[in-house]
Structure 1
Protein backbone atom coordinates (compact mmCIF):
# COMPACT_ATOMS: atom_id res chain seq x y z
CA UNK A 1 0.00 0.00 0.00
CA UNK A 2 1.06 3.58 -0.57
CA UNK A 3 1.46 6.04 2.26
CA UNK A 4 -1.73 6.91 4.13
CA UNK A 5 -0.88 10.52 3.24
CA UNK A 6 -1.73 9.75 -0.38
CA UNK A 7 -5.35 10.48 -1.23
CA UNK A 8 -7.22 7.45 -2.54
CA UNK A 9 -8.47 9.64 -5.40
CA UNK A 10 -4.91 10.51 -6.44
CA UNK A 11 -3.82 6.88 -6.34
CA UNK A 12 -6.83 5.81 -8.40
CA UNK A 13 -6.42 8.53 -11.00
CA UNK A 14 -2.72 7.89 -11.55
CA UNK A 15 -3.37 4.19 -12.13
CA UNK A 16 -1.96 2.57 -9.00
CA UNK A 17 -2.99 -1.05 -8.60
CA UNK A 18 -5.63 -1.01 -5.86
CA UNK A 19 -7.46 -3.92 -4.25
CA UNK A 20 -10.72 -3.71 -2.36
CA UNK A 21 -13.84 -5.63 -1.43
CA UNK A 22 -17.54 -4.94 -0.97
CA UNK A 23 -18.71 -4.96 2.64
CA UNK A 24 -22.31 -6.02 3.14
CA UNK A 25 -22.65 -7.04 6.78
CA UNK A 26 -23.76 -4.30 9.22
CA UNK A 27 -20.68 -4.45 11.43
CA UNK A 28 -17.31 -2.73 11.62
CA UNK A 29 -15.31 -5.96 11.95
CA UNK A 30 -15.02 -6.87 8.27
CA UNK A 31 -13.72 -3.40 7.47
CA UNK A 32 -11.25 -3.60 10.35
CA UNK A 33 -9.96 -7.00 9.19
CA UNK A 34 -9.61 -5.95 5.55
CA UNK A 35 -7.63 -2.92 6.70
CA UNK A 36 -5.35 -5.07 8.88
CA UNK A 37 -4.48 -7.49 6.08
CA UNK A 38 -3.61 -4.67 3.69
CA UNK A 39 -6.54 -4.03 1.36
CA UNK A 40 -6.53 -0.55 -0.15
CA UNK A 41 -10.25 0.18 0.07
CA UNK A 42 -13.68 -1.11 1.01
CA UNK A 43 -16.96 -0.35 -0.70
CA UNK A 44 -19.78 -0.25 1.84
CA UNK A 45 -22.76 -1.60 -0.09
CA UNK A 46 -25.77 0.55 0.78
CA UNK A 47 -27.49 -0.44 -2.47
CA UNK A 48 -27.77 -4.22 -2.07
CA UNK A 49 -27.22 -4.83 1.65
CA UNK A 50 -29.31 -4.11 4.80
CA UNK A 51 -27.33 -1.06 5.87
CA UNK A 52 -28.85 2.11 7.29
CA UNK A 53 -27.10 5.42 7.93
CA UNK A 54 -26.07 4.41 11.45
CA UNK A 55 -24.37 1.27 10.12
CA UNK A 56 -22.59 3.25 7.41
CA UNK A 57 -21.43 5.85 9.94
CA UNK A 58 -19.80 3.21 12.18
CA UNK A 59 -18.28 1.33 9.23
CA UNK A 60 -16.72 4.52 7.88
CA UNK A 61 -15.32 5.24 11.33
CA UNK A 62 -13.71 1.79 11.26
CA UNK A 63 -12.24 2.56 7.84
CA UNK A 64 -10.72 5.81 9.08
CA UNK A 65 -9.36 4.16 12.22
CA UNK A 66 -7.85 1.34 10.16
CA UNK A 67 -6.28 3.58 7.53
CA UNK A 68 -8.26 2.08 4.65
CA UNK A 69 -10.21 4.12 2.12
CA UNK A 70 -13.94 3.86 2.78
CA UNK A 71 -16.28 4.29 -0.16
CA UNK A 72 -20.06 3.81 -0.28
CA UNK A 73 -22.13 2.33 -3.07
CA UNK A 74 -25.16 4.56 -2.70
CA UNK A 75 -28.68 3.50 -3.70
CA UNK A 76 -29.35 6.81 -5.46
CA UNK A 77 -27.78 10.18 -6.18
CA UNK A 78 -29.88 11.67 -3.38
CA UNK A 79 -27.91 9.50 -0.90
CA UNK A 80 -24.49 10.90 -1.85
CA UNK A 81 -24.61 13.77 0.66
CA UNK A 82 -25.30 11.44 3.59
CA UNK A 83 -22.40 9.13 2.67
CA UNK A 84 -19.93 11.97 2.25
CA UNK A 85 -21.00 13.72 5.46
CA UNK A 86 -20.34 10.46 7.35
CA UNK A 87 -16.76 10.53 6.05
CA UNK A 88 -16.75 8.45 2.86
CA UNK A 89 -13.80 9.28 0.62
CA UNK A 90 -15.91 8.47 -2.40
CA UNK A 91 -19.09 7.01 -3.83
CA UNK A 92 -20.05 4.41 -6.41
CA UNK A 93 -23.12 5.75 -8.19
CA UNK A 94 -25.40 3.13 -9.79
CA UNK A 95 -26.87 3.22 -13.29
CA UNK A 96 -24.99 6.20 -14.69
CA UNK A 97 -26.51 5.69 -18.12
CA UNK A 98 -26.25 9.16 -19.65
CA UNK A 99 -24.05 12.28 -19.59
CA UNK A 100 -26.85 14.09 -17.77
CA UNK A 101 -26.88 11.56 -14.93
CA UNK A 102 -23.08 11.69 -14.77
CA UNK A 103 -23.20 15.47 -14.40
CA UNK A 104 -25.86 15.14 -11.69
CA UNK A 105 -23.70 12.66 -9.74
CA UNK A 106 -20.60 14.84 -10.06
CA UNK A 107 -22.48 17.96 -8.94
CA UNK A 108 -23.96 16.20 -5.90
CA UNK A 109 -20.43 15.24 -4.80
CA UNK A 110 -18.72 18.63 -5.03
CA UNK A 111 -19.02 21.99 -3.31
CA UNK A 112 -17.25 24.16 -5.86
CA UNK A 113 -18.99 24.03 -9.25
CA UNK A 114 -21.44 21.59 -7.68
CA UNK A 115 -24.38 21.51 -5.31
CA UNK A 116 -23.22 19.52 -2.30
CA UNK A 117 -24.80 20.97 0.84
CA UNK A 118 -22.39 22.14 3.54
CA UNK A 119 -22.44 21.44 7.26
CA UNK A 120 -19.54 22.16 9.59
CA UNK A 121 -20.82 19.68 12.19
CA UNK A 122 -20.10 16.43 10.35
CA UNK A 123 -17.20 13.96 10.45
CA UNK A 124 -16.22 15.14 6.96
CA UNK A 125 -15.84 18.67 8.34
CA UNK A 126 -13.94 17.53 11.44
CA UNK A 127 -16.89 18.37 13.67
CA UNK A 128 -16.33 22.10 13.42
CA UNK A 129 -12.56 22.06 13.14
CA UNK A 130 -10.96 24.22 10.47
CA UNK A 131 -12.48 26.95 8.37
CA UNK A 132 -15.37 26.55 5.95
CA UNK A 133 -13.18 26.98 2.87
CA UNK A 134 -10.36 24.77 4.08
CA UNK A 135 -12.94 22.02 4.63
CA UNK A 136 -14.52 22.66 1.23
CA UNK A 137 -11.19 22.44 -0.57
CA UNK A 138 -10.07 19.35 1.34
CA UNK A 139 -13.33 17.56 0.64
CA UNK A 140 -13.40 18.48 -3.04
CA UNK A 141 -9.81 17.25 -3.42
CA UNK A 142 -10.58 13.95 -1.66
CA UNK A 143 -14.00 12.97 -2.95
CA UNK A 144 -13.88 10.22 -5.55
CA UNK A 145 -16.84 9.75 -7.89
CA UNK A 146 -17.07 6.37 -9.59
CA UNK A 147 -19.78 5.93 -12.19
CA UNK A 148 -21.22 2.43 -12.39
CA UNK A 149 -21.65 1.45 -16.01
CA UNK A 150 -24.21 -1.35 -15.95
CA UNK A 151 -26.78 -0.57 -18.66
CA UNK A 152 -26.65 -1.04 -22.45
CA UNK A 153 -27.63 2.61 -22.96
CA UNK A 154 -24.62 3.62 -20.86
CA UNK A 155 -22.32 1.58 -23.10
CA UNK A 156 -23.80 3.27 -26.16
CA UNK A 157 -23.08 6.71 -24.66
CA UNK A 158 -19.86 5.84 -22.88
CA UNK A 159 -17.64 8.31 -24.75
CA UNK A 160 -19.99 11.18 -23.84
CA UNK A 161 -20.20 10.02 -20.23
CA UNK A 162 -16.40 9.80 -20.07
CA UNK A 163 -16.17 13.44 -21.15
CA UNK A 164 -18.05 14.67 -18.04
CA UNK A 165 -15.85 16.58 -15.58
CA UNK A 166 -15.99 15.32 -12.02
CA UNK A 167 -16.28 11.62 -12.83
CA UNK A 168 -13.03 10.01 -11.70
CA UNK A 169 -13.55 6.39 -12.70
CA UNK A 170 -15.86 3.77 -14.15
CA UNK A 171 -16.96 0.62 -12.35
CA UNK A 172 -17.90 -1.98 -14.94
CA UNK A 173 -20.99 -3.80 -13.69
CA UNK A 174 -20.62 -7.07 -15.57
CA UNK A 175 -23.41 -8.80 -13.64
CA UNK A 176 -25.98 -6.16 -14.47
CA UNK A 177 -24.75 -5.93 -18.05
CA UNK A 178 -25.07 -9.70 -18.41
CA UNK A 179 -28.69 -9.58 -17.26
CA UNK A 180 -29.52 -6.44 -19.26
CA UNK A 181 -28.12 -7.89 -22.48
CA UNK A 182 -29.70 -11.27 -21.82
CA UNK A 183 -26.29 -12.89 -22.18
CA UNK A 184 -25.65 -16.43 -21.06
CA UNK A 185 -22.51 -15.63 -19.07
CA UNK A 186 -20.28 -12.75 -18.04
CA UNK A 187 -17.70 -13.82 -20.64
CA UNK A 188 -20.24 -13.80 -23.49
CA UNK A 189 -18.84 -11.91 -26.53
CA UNK A 190 -21.39 -9.10 -26.14
CA UNK A 191 -20.20 -8.51 -22.55
CA UNK A 192 -16.53 -8.76 -23.50
CA UNK A 193 -17.11 -6.16 -26.23
CA UNK A 194 -18.93 -3.88 -23.78
CA UNK A 195 -16.11 -4.19 -21.23
CA UNK A 196 -13.55 -3.37 -23.89
CA UNK A 197 -15.48 -0.34 -25.09
CA UNK A 198 -15.89 1.00 -21.55
CA UNK A 199 -12.20 0.44 -20.81
CA UNK A 200 -11.12 2.12 -24.03
CA UNK A 201 -13.33 5.14 -23.36
CA UNK A 202 -12.05 5.43 -19.81
CA UNK A 203 -8.42 5.19 -20.86
CA UNK A 204 -8.92 7.77 -23.62
CA UNK A 205 -10.54 10.22 -21.19
CA UNK A 206 -8.07 9.64 -18.37
CA UNK A 207 -10.63 7.86 -16.18
CA UNK A 208 -9.64 4.89 -14.04
CA UNK A 209 -11.40 1.57 -14.56
CA UNK A 210 -12.60 -0.55 -11.64
CA UNK A 211 -13.83 -4.12 -12.04
CA UNK A 212 -14.92 -6.97 -9.79
CA UNK A 213 -12.78 -10.11 -10.19
CA UNK A 214 -12.53 -13.64 -8.86
CA UNK A 215 -8.76 -13.54 -8.41
CA UNK A 216 -5.36 -12.69 -9.89
CA UNK A 217 -5.76 -14.56 -13.16
CA UNK A 218 -8.99 -12.80 -14.06
CA UNK A 219 -7.58 -9.46 -12.85
CA UNK A 220 -4.59 -9.85 -15.20
CA UNK A 221 -6.92 -10.01 -18.20
CA UNK A 222 -8.73 -6.86 -17.16
CA UNK A 223 -5.46 -5.13 -16.37
CA UNK A 224 -4.42 -5.75 -19.97
CA UNK A 225 -7.57 -3.86 -21.01
CA UNK A 226 -6.71 -0.92 -18.78
CA UNK A 227 -8.26 -1.69 -15.39
CA UNK A 228 -6.20 -0.75 -12.34
CA UNK A 229 -8.56 -1.17 -9.36
CA UNK A 230 -10.02 -4.54 -8.47
CA UNK A 231 -12.85 -5.49 -6.13
CA UNK A 232 -12.40 -9.02 -4.84
CA UNK A 233 -15.66 -10.60 -3.75
CA UNK A 234 -17.50 -9.34 -0.66
CA UNK A 235 -17.05 -9.86 3.05
CA UNK A 236 -19.83 -12.46 2.83
CA UNK A 237 -18.23 -14.11 -0.19
CA UNK A 238 -14.81 -14.27 1.44
CA UNK A 239 -16.33 -15.80 4.57
CA UNK A 240 -18.30 -18.34 2.55
CA UNK A 241 -15.23 -19.29 0.51
CA UNK A 242 -13.06 -19.78 3.60
CA UNK A 243 -15.79 -21.64 5.46
CA UNK A 244 -16.44 -23.95 2.51
CA UNK A 245 -12.74 -24.76 2.11
CA UNK A 246 -12.31 -25.43 5.83
CA UNK A 247 -15.36 -27.70 5.95
CA UNK A 248 -14.30 -29.64 2.85
CA UNK A 249 -10.86 -30.24 4.31
CA UNK A 250 -12.24 -31.55 7.58
CA UNK A 251 -14.88 -33.70 5.91
CA UNK A 252 -12.11 -35.30 3.84
CA UNK A 253 -10.38 -36.69 6.94
CA UNK A 254 -10.41 -40.47 7.23
CA UNK A 255 -12.85 -41.62 9.91
CA UNK A 256 -11.19 -42.71 13.15
CA UNK A 257 -12.80 -45.65 14.90
CA UNK A 258 -12.61 -45.22 18.63
CA UNK A 259 -12.61 -48.31 20.90
CA UNK A 260 -16.10 -49.38 21.78
CA UNK A 261 -17.72 -47.20 19.12
CA UNK A 262 -19.36 -49.18 16.30
Structure 2
Protein backbone atom coordinates (compact mmCIF):
# COMPACT_ATOMS: atom_id res chain seq x y z
CA UNK A 1 0.00 0.00 0.00
CA UNK A 2 1.32 3.44 -0.94
CA UNK A 3 1.17 5.83 1.98
CA UNK A 4 3.54 8.65 2.86
CA UNK A 5 5.80 8.09 5.85
CA UNK A 6 4.60 11.44 7.17
CA UNK A 7 1.02 10.19 7.27
CA UNK A 8 2.02 6.88 8.84
CA UNK A 9 4.09 8.47 11.59
CA UNK A 10 2.41 11.78 12.42
CA UNK A 11 -0.29 10.36 14.69
CA UNK A 12 2.18 8.12 16.50
CA UNK A 13 4.64 10.99 17.00
CA UNK A 14 1.88 13.37 18.06
CA UNK A 15 0.46 10.95 20.62
CA UNK A 16 3.97 10.16 21.88
CA UNK A 17 4.55 13.83 22.67
CA UNK A 18 7.39 14.43 20.25
CA UNK A 19 8.14 18.05 19.37
CA UNK A 20 6.42 18.74 16.06
CA UNK A 21 6.41 22.01 14.14
CA UNK A 22 3.84 23.05 11.57
CA UNK A 23 2.34 26.12 9.97
CA UNK A 24 -0.97 27.22 8.49
CA UNK A 25 -1.38 27.37 4.71
CA UNK A 26 -3.89 29.99 3.62
CA UNK A 27 -3.08 30.35 -0.07
CA UNK A 28 -5.22 27.83 -2.01
CA UNK A 29 -2.41 26.35 -4.08
CA UNK A 30 -0.05 23.39 -3.96
CA UNK A 31 3.23 25.29 -4.17
CA UNK A 32 3.30 26.71 -0.62
CA UNK A 33 2.69 23.20 0.74
CA UNK A 34 5.58 21.76 -1.27
CA UNK A 35 7.95 24.53 -0.21
CA UNK A 36 7.07 24.19 3.47
CA UNK A 37 7.34 20.41 3.34
CA UNK A 38 10.75 20.64 1.70
CA UNK A 39 11.80 23.16 4.37
CA UNK A 40 11.31 20.45 6.99
CA UNK A 41 7.98 21.24 8.64
CA UNK A 42 6.54 18.04 10.07
CA UNK A 43 3.01 19.13 9.12
CA UNK A 44 1.00 21.84 7.43
CA UNK A 45 -2.52 22.89 8.35
CA UNK A 46 -4.62 23.64 5.29
CA UNK A 47 -6.85 26.38 6.68
CA UNK A 48 -10.30 25.95 5.18
CA UNK A 49 -11.88 27.84 8.09
CA UNK A 50 -10.19 31.19 7.47
CA UNK A 51 -9.02 31.01 3.85
CA UNK A 52 -10.64 30.47 0.40
CA UNK A 53 -10.07 26.72 0.05
CA UNK A 54 -12.52 24.39 -1.68
CA UNK A 55 -12.48 20.62 -2.13
CA UNK A 56 -10.51 20.72 -5.37
CA UNK A 57 -7.76 23.00 -4.03
CA UNK A 58 -7.60 20.99 -0.80
CA UNK A 59 -7.24 17.82 -2.88
CA UNK A 60 -4.28 19.34 -4.77
CA UNK A 61 -2.68 20.57 -1.55
CA UNK A 62 -2.93 17.14 0.07
CA UNK A 63 -1.21 15.63 -2.95
CA UNK A 64 1.54 18.24 -2.57
CA UNK A 65 1.89 17.32 1.12
CA UNK A 66 2.47 13.68 0.17
CA UNK A 67 4.95 14.68 -2.53
CA UNK A 68 7.00 16.80 -0.12
CA UNK A 69 6.91 14.37 2.81
CA UNK A 70 4.89 16.45 5.24
CA UNK A 71 1.66 15.54 7.03
CA UNK A 72 -1.39 17.30 5.60
CA UNK A 73 -3.85 18.34 8.31
CA UNK A 74 -7.03 20.20 7.35
CA UNK A 75 -8.66 22.75 9.61
CA UNK A 76 -12.18 22.12 8.37
CA UNK A 77 -14.55 25.02 7.89
CA UNK A 78 -17.26 23.33 9.92
CA UNK A 79 -17.35 20.34 12.28
CA UNK A 80 -19.61 18.18 10.12
CA UNK A 81 -19.29 14.50 9.27
CA UNK A 82 -19.57 15.26 5.55
CA UNK A 83 -16.75 17.80 5.61
CA UNK A 84 -14.51 15.48 7.62
CA UNK A 85 -15.24 12.53 5.33
CA UNK A 86 -14.34 14.57 2.26
CA UNK A 87 -10.87 15.60 3.41
CA UNK A 88 -10.03 12.19 4.87
CA UNK A 89 -11.01 10.44 1.64
CA UNK A 90 -8.82 12.92 -0.23
CA UNK A 91 -5.86 11.79 1.85
CA UNK A 92 -5.65 14.15 4.82
CA UNK A 93 -3.49 12.87 7.65
CA UNK A 94 -6.00 14.33 10.05
CA UNK A 95 -8.36 17.13 10.93
CA UNK A 96 -8.10 20.15 13.18
CA UNK A 97 -11.70 20.83 14.16
CA UNK A 98 -12.79 24.27 15.38
CA UNK A 99 -15.15 25.01 18.27
CA UNK A 100 -15.26 21.63 19.98
CA UNK A 101 -17.11 23.05 22.96
CA UNK A 102 -18.79 19.96 24.44
CA UNK A 103 -18.32 16.26 25.04
CA UNK A 104 -21.20 15.57 22.67
CA UNK A 105 -19.47 17.45 19.85
CA UNK A 106 -16.15 15.72 20.54
CA UNK A 107 -17.85 12.32 20.42
CA UNK A 108 -19.63 13.14 17.14
CA UNK A 109 -16.38 14.16 15.47
CA UNK A 110 -14.49 11.16 16.81
CA UNK A 111 -17.13 8.88 15.28
CA UNK A 112 -16.85 10.73 11.96
CA UNK A 113 -13.09 10.09 11.92
CA UNK A 114 -13.19 6.36 12.67
CA UNK A 115 -14.52 3.25 10.98
CA UNK A 116 -14.32 0.79 13.87
CA UNK A 117 -16.46 2.11 16.71
CA UNK A 118 -17.37 5.09 14.56
CA UNK A 119 -19.53 6.15 11.63
CA UNK A 120 -17.09 7.19 8.92
CA UNK A 121 -18.56 6.47 5.50
CA UNK A 122 -16.65 3.78 3.65
CA UNK A 123 -15.00 4.04 0.27
CA UNK A 124 -11.60 2.65 -0.66
CA UNK A 125 -11.72 4.02 -4.22
CA UNK A 126 -10.25 7.32 -3.02
CA UNK A 127 -6.71 8.61 -2.60
CA UNK A 128 -6.85 7.41 1.00
CA UNK A 129 -7.50 3.88 -0.30
CA UNK A 130 -5.05 4.18 -3.22
CA UNK A 131 -8.03 4.34 -5.59
CA UNK A 132 -9.22 0.83 -4.87
CA UNK A 133 -5.85 -0.87 -4.52
CA UNK A 134 -6.38 -1.41 -0.79
CA UNK A 135 -8.83 -4.05 0.38
CA UNK A 136 -11.76 -3.26 2.64
CA UNK A 137 -10.33 -4.24 6.01
CA UNK A 138 -6.71 -3.23 5.32
CA UNK A 139 -8.08 0.20 4.40
CA UNK A 140 -10.14 0.36 7.59
CA UNK A 141 -7.18 -0.66 9.74
CA UNK A 142 -4.72 1.71 8.05
CA UNK A 143 -7.01 4.71 8.29
CA UNK A 144 -8.04 4.10 11.88
CA UNK A 145 -4.37 3.80 12.80
CA UNK A 146 -3.20 6.96 11.02
CA UNK A 147 -6.02 9.53 10.99
CA UNK A 148 -5.48 12.20 13.64
CA UNK A 149 -8.33 14.10 15.31
CA UNK A 150 -7.27 17.32 17.06
CA UNK A 151 -9.98 19.36 18.74
CA UNK A 152 -9.74 23.13 19.00
CA UNK A 153 -10.57 24.37 22.49
CA UNK A 154 -11.51 27.98 21.93
CA UNK A 155 -14.90 28.57 23.59
CA UNK A 156 -15.49 29.49 27.25
CA UNK A 157 -18.19 26.82 27.58
CA UNK A 158 -15.64 24.14 26.68
CA UNK A 159 -13.76 24.94 29.87
CA UNK A 160 -16.67 23.67 31.95
CA UNK A 161 -16.37 20.24 30.31
CA UNK A 162 -12.66 20.20 29.57
CA UNK A 163 -11.84 17.07 31.60
CA UNK A 164 -14.52 15.06 29.83
CA UNK A 165 -13.73 16.53 26.40
CA UNK A 166 -10.04 15.60 26.48
CA UNK A 167 -10.91 12.11 27.72
CA UNK A 168 -13.16 11.44 24.69
CA UNK A 169 -12.27 8.12 23.05
CA UNK A 170 -10.95 8.70 19.55
CA UNK A 171 -9.76 12.23 20.31
CA UNK A 172 -5.99 12.31 19.85
CA UNK A 173 -5.19 15.73 21.28
CA UNK A 174 -6.22 19.35 21.55
CA UNK A 175 -5.21 22.70 20.13
CA UNK A 176 -5.69 25.74 22.36
CA UNK A 177 -7.26 28.57 20.35
CA UNK A 178 -5.85 31.53 22.25
CA UNK A 179 -7.18 34.07 19.75
CA UNK A 180 -10.81 33.04 20.08
CA UNK A 181 -10.51 32.63 23.83
CA UNK A 182 -8.99 36.10 24.14
CA UNK A 183 -11.87 37.69 22.24
CA UNK A 184 -14.55 35.59 23.95
CA UNK A 185 -13.21 36.36 27.43
CA UNK A 186 -12.58 40.03 26.65
CA UNK A 187 -8.93 39.75 27.63
CA UNK A 188 -6.54 42.57 26.64
CA UNK A 189 -4.03 40.25 24.94
CA UNK A 190 -3.33 36.60 24.20
CA UNK A 191 -0.74 36.50 26.97
CA UNK A 192 -2.98 38.17 29.56
CA UNK A 193 -3.02 36.42 32.97
CA UNK A 194 -6.54 35.06 32.48
CA UNK A 195 -5.61 33.54 29.11
CA UNK A 196 -2.43 31.97 30.47
CA UNK A 197 -4.44 30.53 33.38
CA UNK A 198 -6.92 29.10 30.89
CA UNK A 199 -4.08 27.51 28.92
CA UNK A 200 -2.71 25.97 32.12
CA UNK A 201 -6.14 24.55 32.94
CA UNK A 202 -6.50 22.93 29.50
CA UNK A 203 -2.95 21.56 29.52
CA UNK A 204 -3.43 20.13 33.01
CA UNK A 205 -6.62 18.36 31.92
CA UNK A 206 -4.85 16.91 28.87
CA UNK A 207 -1.92 15.72 30.97
CA UNK A 208 -4.27 13.77 33.26
CA UNK A 209 -5.37 11.56 30.37
CA UNK A 210 -2.10 11.56 28.44
CA UNK A 211 -3.32 13.65 25.51
CA UNK A 212 -0.91 16.00 23.70
CA UNK A 213 -1.48 19.74 23.36
CA UNK A 214 -0.79 21.91 20.32
CA UNK A 215 -0.31 25.67 20.46
CA UNK A 216 -0.01 28.58 18.06
CA UNK A 217 3.22 30.38 18.90
CA UNK A 218 4.86 33.58 17.72
CA UNK A 219 8.49 32.56 18.06
CA UNK A 220 10.94 30.23 19.80
CA UNK A 221 10.60 32.02 23.15
CA UNK A 222 6.83 31.59 23.00
CA UNK A 223 7.23 27.91 22.13
CA UNK A 224 9.69 27.40 24.98
CA UNK A 225 7.26 28.93 27.47
CA UNK A 226 4.42 26.65 26.42
CA UNK A 227 6.70 23.63 26.16
CA UNK A 228 7.58 24.09 29.82
CA UNK A 229 3.83 24.13 30.54
CA UNK A 230 3.41 20.82 28.69
CA UNK A 231 2.63 21.61 25.04
CA UNK A 232 4.59 19.59 22.48
CA UNK A 233 3.21 20.52 19.06
CA UNK A 234 3.59 24.03 17.71
CA UNK A 235 2.11 25.96 14.81
CA UNK A 236 3.99 29.08 13.80
CA UNK A 237 2.76 31.74 11.38
CA UNK A 238 1.43 30.82 7.93
CA UNK A 239 2.59 30.81 4.34
CA UNK A 240 1.20 34.35 3.97
CA UNK A 241 2.90 35.44 7.17
CA UNK A 242 6.25 34.09 6.05
CA UNK A 243 5.88 35.79 2.67
CA UNK A 244 4.95 39.10 4.28
CA UNK A 245 7.88 38.98 6.71
CA UNK A 246 10.38 38.12 3.98
CA UNK A 247 8.93 40.69 1.58
CA UNK A 248 9.05 43.50 4.16
CA UNK A 249 12.66 42.70 5.01
CA UNK A 250 13.75 42.40 1.36
CA UNK A 251 12.08 45.66 0.44
CA UNK A 252 13.55 47.49 3.43
CA UNK A 253 17.04 46.13 2.73
CA UNK A 254 17.08 46.91 -0.99
CA UNK A 255 15.31 50.28 -0.81
CA UNK A 256 17.88 51.36 1.79
CA UNK A 257 20.63 50.97 -0.84
CA UNK A 258 19.43 54.06 -2.68
CA UNK A 259 19.09 56.01 0.53
CA UNK A 260 22.66 55.19 1.52
CA UNK A 261 23.95 56.15 -1.93
CA UNK A 262 22.15 59.48 -1.77
Q: Given the two structures, how large is their TM-score scaled by the length of structure 1?
A: 0.95
Which residue of the partner structure matches residue 67 of structure 2?
A: 65
**In 2, Cα distance between equivalents of 1:6 and 1:86:** 15
**In 1, Cα distance between equivalents of 2:6 and 2:76:** 25
Match of 1:52 among 50, 54, 61: 54
Which residue of the partner structure matches residue 151 of structure 2?
A: 147
Residues 218-257 of structure 1: pairs in structure 2 closer than 5 A = 218-253=222-257, 254-257=259-262
Which residue of the partner structure matches residue 43 of structure 1?
A: 45
Aligned pairs, how many? 255
Match of 1:206 among 210, 220, 238: 210
2:30 counterpart of 1:28? yes
Structure 1: unaligned runs, 5 residues or longer? 258-262
**In 1, Cα distance between equivalents of 2:161 and 2:254:** 51
The structural deviation recorded for 1:75 is 1.3
Which residue of the partner structure matches residue 175 of structure 2?
A: 171
> 3-state DSSP class of the match of 1:145?
strand
Q: Given the two structures, how large is their TM-score scaled by the length of structure 2?
A: 0.95
**In 2, Cα distance between equivalents of 1:221 and 1:4:** 27
**In 1, Cα distance between equivalents of 2:107 and 2:23:** 26
Residues 92-111 of structure 1: pairs in structure 2 closer than 5 A = 92-111=96-115
Match of 1:115 among 116, 119, 123: 119
Structure 2: unaligned runs, 5 residues or longer? none
> 3-state DSSP class of the match of 1:19?
strand
> 3-state DSSP class of the match of 1:252?
helix
Residues 78-93 of structure 1: pairs in structure 2 closer than 5 A = 78=80, 79-93=83-97
Higher CA-based Rg: 1
**In 1, Cα distance between equivalents of 2:180 and 2:103:** 19
Cα gap change, 1:149 to 1:224, in 2 (>3 Å):
same
The structural deviation recorded for 1:77 is 2.3
> 3-state DSSP class of the match of 2:261?
coil
Maintained 8 Å contact 1:199/1:226: yes
The structural deviation recorded for 1:247 is 1.5
**In 2, Cα distance between equivalents of 1:199 and 1:48:** 25
* Deviations 1:96-146, CA, capped at 9 Å, x for gaps: 001100001100000010000011210001100121000000000000000
Q: Structure 1 stretches (4+) deviating beyond 6 angstroms?
A: none
Maintained 8 Å contact 1:77/1:108: no
**In 1, Cα distance between equivalents of 2:29 and 2:207:** 36
